[in-house]
Structure 1
Amino acid sequence: MRFLVPLLLSTGALVAQVGPNYERPATETAARFKGVAWREARPSSHQPKGEWWKVFRDAKLNSLMEQATANNQNLKAAIARFDQARAAARMARADLFPVASIPLSADRQRTSENAISPIPLNGLFYEGPAYNAATDLTWELDLFGKIRRGAEAGRADAEAAADAVQNLLLGMQADVATNYFKLRSLDQEIRLVREAVGLRGEAFKIAKARVEAGAGSELEQAQSETEVASAEAEIASLQAQRDQLENAIAILLGANAASFKIVASGSGLSSPPAIPVGAPSDLLERRPDVSQAERVLAAATARIGVAKAQFFPSIKLIGRAGFQSTDIDLLMQPESLIWSYGPSISLPLFSGGKNRFNLTKSKAAHDEALAGYRQAFLTAVADVESSLSSIRNLANSAEAQQRARNSAERAASLARTRYESGTSPYLDVIEANRTTLATQRATVQLASQRMIASVSLIKALGGGWDTTQPVALPAVTPDPAARNVPGSDAGGFMSKVKGIFKKKDPMMP
């Protein structure tokens, strides 16, 4: 028996892990983005992204991002899912080690008169107490890589869960920035409409005074009054949209919408950040959804090995040693010593096709994950292309819209001068003012769309192009009712013993 363990271990060294080893599938790409340098992407979401929103140089936006990162509830849930996946990976790796336990028992029993015995019992039996104090040891030898493949899959699942955290974090931050720029755009529109209400109110007063003096018509007074009321109604509509965006931001920040408030800003939106010329395509590698899909594929590949290993024998080393006695006072005496050891071999003979179907299922899951990875990559490329196109076209639209705004404001000034000189009807003033307000609001809306397009590009690139900051799981504010708080689990005696043999865990933060 003393030669069995070295023999089995040497045999295990000769037997490779069954199942395919993971290799990242090749990805076919175009030679370059449309107007941007390009090379083949390799998922690497661990690369630094930095605080990308700071390129917009908005202190309020920076503050909102900090609050959202600390308090967003969906983000906390994603981190909890990562903790679950990391714990599952550690559990899978723990199967590589022996399992030892100390079962203690005290019971009353009766032995069989026909029990196996080296001497005839002739009806003898024992009835009375029985005390056992032994150590049980079980160790499954991973000769065919079933446990190692399972640990490999668990590790890939944990890495995919970490990428899922980053993906949700990036999406949440992009939503905060998008809603914030929409809200600031509405602030500017509300300001413009209020200015129009003031101007139209002055025109209404003038028209009313002209009617009272007999120099104007009641039609002009009614028209000017209509314009004032229409603008006031538009303010209410814009304010309702702003309130909805404010509530949406409150949810993203994990704040109570009833008490959350963003003070209106009187300044306009700044220009969008400049895109680095020839942005390297390896920025696309930062996308956590691509990396997550690649890790899911790696886990599915490892599980093929787990399924294949089910066709091979399972070998366990089993040992038991301790004391057994009918008298507790004699339990720890040398005469009460018992022991046993030996291998346990399980050969899979018939399972009704279960193992075969399980292997088929594992291969199909791999093919599904492969398609998901390729789809994620294609989506990433399309997102970047769409964002670049939006930025280009919106820049051209903004330039043309600014010219339209300038000419509309000039036309409004001419119409007002001609009306005051009596050479044009008041209807020309109304139309010119409406056109001016529409072009002013369109200019503000285009400025907002350009900022949002920049956010979309940063999101499509996986978090911007700043490579000076390390990336890590975000530090969120713990919920007072949470159970899984770091450092809250007190270690006992066994945890201290295990710490002696503990290796560095690659899944530890």
Structure 2
Amino acid sequence: MTGFVRRPLAAAMLLAGLLVGGCMVGPDYQRPPLDVPITYKEPAAIDPAFANLDWWELFADPRLKALIEEALANNRDLGVAVARIAEAAALLRIERANQYPFLDAEAGAGRSSQSRNILPTAETESSYFFNGAASFEIDLWGKLRRSTEAARAELLGSESSARNVTISLIAAVATSYFQLLDLDDRLRIATRTLKSREDALGIIKARYEKGTVPELDVNQAEIEAADAQASVAAFDRAVRQTENALSVLVGSRPRDIERGSQLAQQAMPVEVPAGLPLTLLERRPDILAAEQQLAAETARIGVARAQRLPSLSLTGSFGYASRDLSDLVEGDSENWGIFGNFFAPIFNAGQLKAVEEAQRQRAEQARLGYEQAVLNGLRDVDDSLTGLRTSRDEHIARQRQLAAARTAARLSRARYDGGLVSYLEVLDSERSLFQAELLESETRQQQLSAVVSLYRALGGGWSPSDDQ
């Protein structure tokens, strides 16, 4: 009996160890059945290794690569996502700590004396003490383990959310960069067209002064020159605004963005293999984050269920107290205690049952959110595949249109100079050429952006093995 008395904390922990292996109430997480097609609606090649690539390097533009690296290092939204991972990891440690005993210690010393006017025999007294205390909640029904399970799922979800921010950031930088190159091209086209139209206006004015052309030709030439001048201003504004937006994406104040290759020299990946729809569940970080949210809410059902059942906690203390420091650790100075606390909810007007039901409904909401994320992902990939295919077809058509417009503009100018047609024909053909040049540049940019969009939709740019 003396040994037990001298080791009350060890005895309490032994009892807790015998009881801690209780059952776990609540459902275990299982991925819900999903209606995932075997292949995508839009035909696509299959290559399981495609998405593990740093796909932006396929464009072979060192400036684009540098901008992406700068964004990954400095973007504030990504920094917030990374901080949330650290927060979730700390919350997991908090929840996991509840599964273990808490040990505390305190010590103190003091001297005191009462008023001799009240107590004439009062003397100055010293006191010393040293105490250790332990407390432990026995996880009879798995409440603490389910809380830890939920926190772990939240951590995994925050990691997936950070990957989603990363992929979206890379895609946004690449798309903005290609838009900037497109706007550069369109600004050059508009500037060149303005110069051509101003030159034509000068020639027509000279002919008008000689009486060889009517004033209407002068007015029409002025209209076209003013239209080109307005386009120059509009594209210049768009270039500056896109530079500012791209600067913020890379975590910088608005600045001039250095370009690499022009839009026409950008490498175009020949084919982007999309893989199988089922692999999308393991690749897209937004789907993974939604699934981890479902896992967390499922685990919390067990927490809510355990709150309706009895709980048992143990506390123990052991220490020494004495008036004299010299005999503080002697046997007569010992003080100890072991206490067990059993709590069982009996009547609460259905409150705890309602808490569990509310949690089940939160889990149901998470399930529907996960299924919606899967549907959105499948749609996103199919839309991107369609966008890539049709943007290629559209760009080919715009190239044919541009070639024909250049020939028509050259022939119309020659016919006008020969006096065979009115200036209206020249205006129509040159207006068509201006629009064809702008559209050819825009569709080239759209084709590059469609490649970026597809890789983003597929969750490309990271390897699941990197997280293991």
User: How big is the shift at 1:249?
Assistant: 0.8
Whether the 8 Å CA contact 1:283–1:462 is kept in 2: the answer is no
Q: Which residue of 2 aligns with 1:74?
A: 77
Of 53, 59, 62, which residue of structure 1 is paired with 2:62? Answer: 59
Of 263, 277, 280, which residue of structure 1 is paired with 2:276? Answer: 280
Whether the 8 Å CA contact 2:182–2:263 is kept in 1: the answer is no
Whole-angstrom distance in 2 between the partners of 1:191 and 1:150: 61
After superposition, the C-alpha distances for 1:425-476 in whole angstroms (9 at most, x for unaligned) are 1121111100011011111111111111111111110125x86x9646xxxx
User: How big is the shift at 1:303?
Assistant: 0.6
Whether the 8 Å CA contact 1:37–1:281 is kept in 2: the answer is no
Q: Does residue 147 of structure 1 match 2:150? A: no
Of 366, 370, 373, which residue of structure 2 is paired with 1:373? Answer: 370
SS at match of 1:318: strand
SS at match of 1:268: helix
After superposition, the C-alpha distances for 1:304-327 in whole angstroms (9 at most, x for unaligned) are 111111122222232111111234
Q: Which residue of 1 aligns with 2:379?
A: 382
Q: Which residue of 1 aligns with 2:117?
A: none
Whole-angstrom distance in 2 between the partners of 1:50 and 1:256: 30
Give the % identical residues.
33
After superposition, the C-alpha distances for 1:360-410 in whole angstroms (9 at most, x for unaligned) are 121111101101100000000010111111112222222222222111111
Whole-angstrom distance in 2 between the partners of 1:127 and 1:95: 44
Whole-angstrom distance in 2 between the partners of 1:187 and 1:254: 22
Q: Which residue of 2 aligns with 1:231?
A: 228
Whole-angstrom distance in 1 between the partners of 2:466 and 2:317: 49
Matches within 5 A, 1:84-95: 84-95=87-98
Whether the 8 Å CA contact 2:81–2:161 is kept in 1: the answer is yes
Instruction: Return 5+ residue gaps in structure 1 as ranges.
Output: 111-124, 473-508
User: How big is the shift at 1:263?
Assistant: 4.8
Of 418, 423, 441, which residue of structure 1 is paired with 2:420? Answer: 423
Partner letter of residue 336 of structure 1?
A: S
Q: Does residue 159 of structure 1 match 2:156? A: yes
Matches within 5 A, 1:77-116: 77-106=80-109
Whether the 8 Å CA contact 1:36–1:278 is kept in 2: the answer is no
User: Cα distance 1:291–1:49, how it changes in 2: closer, same or farther (>3 A)?
Assistant: same
User: Cα distance 1:271–1:402, how it changes in 2: closer, same or farther (>3 A)?
Assistant: farther
Matches within 5 A, 1:233-252: 233-252=230-249
SS at match of 2:153: helix
SS at match of 1:104: strand
SS at match of 2:286: helix
Of 169, 172, 192, which residue of structure 1 is paired with 2:169? Answer: 172
Partner letter of residue 310 of structure 2?
A: P
After superposition, the C-alpha distances for 1:171-194 in whole angstroms (9 at most, x for unaligned) are 111111111111111111111111
Q: Does residue 322 of structure 1 match 2:319? A: yes
Whole-angstrom distance in 2 between the partners of 1:158 and 1:385: 30
Of 282, 295, 298, which residue of structure 2 is paired with 1:298? Answer: 295
Matches within 5 A, 1:464-503: 471=466
User: How big is the shift at 1:198?
Assistant: 1.9
Whole-angstrom distance in 2 between the partners of 1:199 and 1:232: 11
Whether the 8 Å CA contact 1:134–1:320 is kept in 2: the answer is yes
Whether the 8 Å CA contact 1:287–1:461 is kept in 2: the answer is yes
Of 405, 409, 429, which residue of structure 1 is paired with 2:406? Answer: 409
SS at match of 2:52: coil
Partner letter of residue 65 of structure 2?
A: N
SS at match of 1:143: coil
Whether the 8 Å CA contact 1:89–1:158 is kept in 2: the answer is yes
User: How big is the shift at 1:18?
Assistant: 0.9
Partner letter of residue 62 of structure 2?
A: A
SS at match of 2:266: coil
Of 17, 31, 39, which residue of structure 2 is paired with 1:24? Answer: 31
User: Cα distance 1:287–1:62, how it changes in 2: closer, same or farther (>3 A)?
Assistant: same
Whole-angstrom distance in 2 between the partners of 1:38 and 1:223: 52
Whole-angstrom distance in 1 between the partners of 2:101 and 2:403: 80
Partner letter of residue 36 of structure 2?
A: T
SS at match of 2:130: strand
Partner letter of residue 57 of structure 2?
A: K
Partner letter of residue 66 of structure 1?
A: E
User: What CA RMSD, in Å, does the superposition of the two structures yield over aligned residues?
Assistant: 3.0
Of 260, 264, 267, which residue of structure 2 is paired with 1:268? Answer: 264
Partner letter of residue 437 of structure 1?
A: F
Whether the 8 Å CA contact 1:293–1:372 is kept in 2: the answer is yes
Q: Which residue of 1 aligns with 2:250?
A: 253
SS at match of 1:133: strand
Partner letter of residue 28 of structure 1?
A: D
Partner letter of residue 253 of structure 1?
A: V
Whole-angstrom distance in 2 between the partners of 1:5 and 1:224: 95
Whether the 8 Å CA contact 1:187–1:265 is kept in 2: the answer is no
Instruction: Return 5+ residue gaps in structure 2 as ranges.
Output: 5-10, 114-121
> Relative to total residues, which structure has the larger helix share, 1 or 2?
2
TM-score normalised by L of structure 1 = 0.81
Whether the 8 Å CA contact 1:246–1:262 is kept in 2: the answer is no
**Larger displacement relative to structure 2 (441-450 or 219-228):** 219-228
User: How big is the shift at 1:342?
Assistant: 4.0
SS at match of 2:135: strand
SS at match of 1:102: strand
Of 445, 450, 453, which residue of structure 2 is paired with 1:448? Answer: 445
Partner letter of residue 172 of structure 2?
A: D
TM-score normalised by L of structure 2 = 0.88
User: Cα distance 1:399–1:267, how it changes in 2: closer, same or farther (>3 A)?
Assistant: closer
